[in-house]
Amino acid sequence: MAEPLRVAVAAITNARDEYLIARRPAHVHQGGLWEFPGGKIEPGETLADALCRELREELDITPLRYHPLITLNHDYPDRRVCLEVVKVDRFEGQPRGMEGQPLRWVSADQLHALAFPAANRAIIQALTLPDRLVITPDLRCPETLLDGLRRSLETGGPALLQLRAPRLSREDFAALAEMVIPLCRSRGVRILLNADPELAVSLGADGVHLNARRLATLAGRPDVLDRLTLVGASVHHRDELAHAARLGAHFVLVSPVAPTRTHPGASVLGWPGFAALARQAGRPAYALGGMTVDDIATARHHGGQGIAGIRGLWQGATEAD
């Protein structure tokens, strides 16, 4: 197939944290669906040039401040696209549908319920996922873990938590999860269980995290994943990434980006390796391995959603007890 068509896409947000969407005309590619404003990057144009031109032509506004959100390759049956998505949080002018297209401002939550082209699922995930994901430390004592979680919740974070406790039996893990889920819910924190998807569904977690071992055991997408709002997967190289995509993971954790205390001599991806995988991921990618909050901007600069980790983000005991 031909080279992908490069498209500049703008997730424009206002002071109420709403996003501007437009309806594509019926007769065009992916017609009748909602979209984020934007259009094709013409030969010789930079992303910034195309963004300014498209927003002037379609909405009569000028973007004043924006940053990269995600770059996505998507193959439609009739066209390959590479969507270079930026988040615009400051602009000049009053948006108007210059081509007669209906416009709406909608909240991030409403985005999930509207009909967009298939590639937009990943854009909406990128807009609604936080820039840090906390993984619980590998503790044997559930009380120590709960104590650390309470402290971490008190200090403002995290918005997304992966409950991981590989040394607990399935029964002990389930009992711990039954305490952790309501605690997280009461603070508006979304929780993923690093466990089998059936357990995540039966306990009412927001989602599941598929570690590399569990990912490898799944030949195809099990129906149970449709009953979870979030499915994450761990990937270390292209093959795992391709498998996570086949299974329809909503986001991936890419590791190891930097050396960690537990694996000091292991070979790492480094930021260029992370950036290459993030670009191919087709979904938000978190950098994992040796990360601290100081790395969030670097991760975003390399096309990532943010960082995932234990040590740099957890308040409380992290050592084995």
Ligand X SMILES: Nc1nc2c([nH]c(=O)n2[C@H]2C[C@H](O)[C@@H](COP(=O)(O)OP(=O)(O)OP(=O)(O)O)O2)c(=O)[nH]1
Q: What is the three-class DSSP state of 157? A: coil
Structure tokens at 228: 């979870």
Could you say which of Mg ion, ligand X, none residue 9 binds, taking C-beta under 5 to 8 angstroms by partner kind? ligand X
CA pair distance 204, 178, nearest whole angstrom: 9
User: By Cβ distance, which residue is nearest to ligand X?
Assistant: 39
Dihedral sign for Cα atoms in the order 218, 127, 295, 194: negative
Query: How does strand 38-40 pair with strand 230-235?
Result: unpaired
Choice between 10 and 168, CB closer to Mg ion:
10
- The site string for Mg ion over 37-56 (x = CB under 5 A, - otherwise) reads --x-----------------
Burial zone of 184 (CB within 10 Å; 0-12 exposed, 13-18 middle, 19+ buried): buried
Contact 84, 7 (CB under 8 A): yes
CB of 30 to Mg ion, least distance (A): 10
CB of 35 to ligand X, least distance (A): 4
How many residues belong to the chain? 321
- The site string for Mg ion over 175-214 (x = CB under 5 A, - otherwise) reads ----------------------------------------
Name the residue among 252, 308, 248, 249 with its Cα closest to residue 277. 252
Burial zone of 12 (CB within 10 Å; 0-12 exposed, 13-18 middle, 19+ buried): buried
Contact 279, 71 (CB under 8 A): yes
Choice between 54 and 240, CB closer to ligand X:
54
CB of 11 to ligand X, least distance (A): 8
CB of 24 to ligand X, least distance (A): 7
Could you say which of ligand X, Mg ion, none residue 30 binds, taking C-beta under 5 to 8 angstroms by partner kind? ligand X
Could you say which of ligand X, Mg ion, none residue 240 binds, taking C-beta under 5 to 8 angstroms by partner kind? none
Q: What is the three-class DSSP state of 38? A: strand
Choice between 91 and 271, CB closer to ligand X:
91
Could you say which of ligand X, Mg ion, none residue 35 binds, taking C-beta under 5 to 8 angstroms by partner kind? ligand X
261 C-beta neighbours (distance < 10 Å), count: 9
Q: Which stretch binds Mg ion (CB under 5 A): 33-41, 109-117, 243-251, 258-266?
A: 33-41
Q: Report angle CA 131, 132, 133 to the nearest 5 degrees.
A: 135
Binding site for ligand X (CB under 6 A): 7, 9, 28-30, 35-36, 38-40, 54, 79, 81, 83, 117, 119-120
CB of 113 to Mg ion, least distance (A): 22
Could you say which of ligand X, Mg ion, none residue 249 binds, taking C-beta under 5 to 8 angstroms by partner kind? none
Structure tokens at 199: 């357990």
Could you say which of ligand X, Mg ion, none residue 255 binds, taking C-beta under 5 to 8 angstroms by partner kind? none
CA pair distance 178, 183, nearest whole angstrom: 9
Choice between 39 and 259, CB closer to ligand X:
39
CB of 120 to ligand X, least distance (A): 5
Site size toward Mg ion (CB under 5 A) is 1
Residues that bind Mg ion (CB under 5 A): 39
